[in-house]
Chains A and B, each alone.
Chain A
């Protein structure tokens, strides 16, 4: 079965410091990995995806993620955190059994808090 895990329920960072939100995955076959962000009472906003190619993926709002096949990880990073980055972050993997590609499997989420 395919799955993702986010080992940290909460990450606290000071504004201006680098941030990392961790994600590990378990898939059969090639992983299609995603990061989404959710602000209070809002839906999910797409940040970035890894399908194939470079292990460092750049996304929206200055975020990037590093794909590491040997460690089965896909950590989200940002060089300098902003207070406005405070939100709930979800890692997800596409379920490859669905040919029309409509199913994502999500982690439990990590609450990111950036303090001034």
Chain B
């Protein structure tokens, strides 16, 4: 196991609603990243947080936002849900940089928007 947990496992929401997904990463892993994996595709980077501040974002609109807390937990918030937001959302924590770089993924949250 990677030591990264996510909740809930599955979630069904209606278009236009808001959702919060949660992640708990390993102690000492200061960077947390979120990815969206649509069906049949590779994971796409949403953003990353380092020491509780966003310091990198992929091609996702501002309605995707996040928080990172001092206890190594984090949240992904998505407002005004759209049908295309249906996907597996993966949280990953990163340890080290350069040669020691390791990224560990949680099991994901499957979001279905109807």
Question: How far, in angstroms, from A109 to B88 measured CA to CA in the complex?
Answer: 15
Question: Judging by beta carbons under 8 Å apart, are B42 and A101 in contact?
Answer: no
**Does A46 contact B104, Cβ atoms closer than 8 Å?**
yes
Bound-state CA distance A77–B102 (Å) is 21
Q: Identify A100's interface contact among B43, B50, B108, CB under 8 A.
A: B50
B2, B45, B97: the one contacting A103 at CB < 8 Å is B45
Count of residues in A whose CB is under 8 Å from the partner chain: 28
CB pair A102 B99 closer than 8 Å: no
Given A100-B55, A103-B56, does the pair A108, B41 have CB atoms closer than 8 Å? yes
Is residue B86 within 8 Å, beta carbon to beta carbon, of the partner chain? Answer: no
In the complex, A104 Cα to B33 Cα: how many Å? 9
Bound state CA distance, A42 and B73, in angstroms? 20
The residues of A that contact B50 with a CB separation of less than 8 Å are 100, 102
- A43 within 8 Å of B (CB atoms): yes
How many whole Å from B64's CB to the nearest CB in chain A?
15
How far apart sit A95 and B107, CA to CA, in the bound complex (Å)? 22
Main SS class of interface, A: loop
Contact A98:B48 (CB < 8 A) given known A43-B108, A44-B90: yes
Say yes or no: A90 contacts B104, CB within 8 Å.
no
- The chain B residue sitting closest to A97, CB to CB, is B56
Query: Could you mark each residue 39-63 of chain A with 1 if its beta carbon is under 8 Å from any beta carbon of chain B, else 0?
Result: 0011111100101100000000000
Q: A107 at the A/B interface (Cβ < 8 Å)?
A: yes
Is the Cβ of B103 less than 8 Å from the Cβ of A100?
no
Interface assignment of B32: CB less than 8 Å from any CB of chain A: yes
For A90, A102, A107, which residue has the most chain B Cβ atoms within 10 angstroms?
A102
Please name all residues of chain B whose beta carbon is closer than 8 Å to the beta carbon of A43 when the two chains form the complex.
2, 4, 6, 90, 105-108
* B binding-site residues for A, Cβ under 8 Å: 2, 4, 6, 30-33, 40-45, 48-50, 55-56, 58, 90, 92, 94, 96-99, 101-108, 110
Sample 24 A-B pairs with CB under 8 A, ordered by A number.
Answer: A32-B101, A34-B103, A36-B105, A43-B106, A44-B90, A46-B103, A95-B45, A98-B48, A100-B48, A100-B56, A100-B94, A101-B94, A101-B103, A102-B31, A102-B32, A102-B49, A102-B50, A102-B92, A102-B94, A103-B45, A103-B56, A106-B44, A108-B41, A109-B41
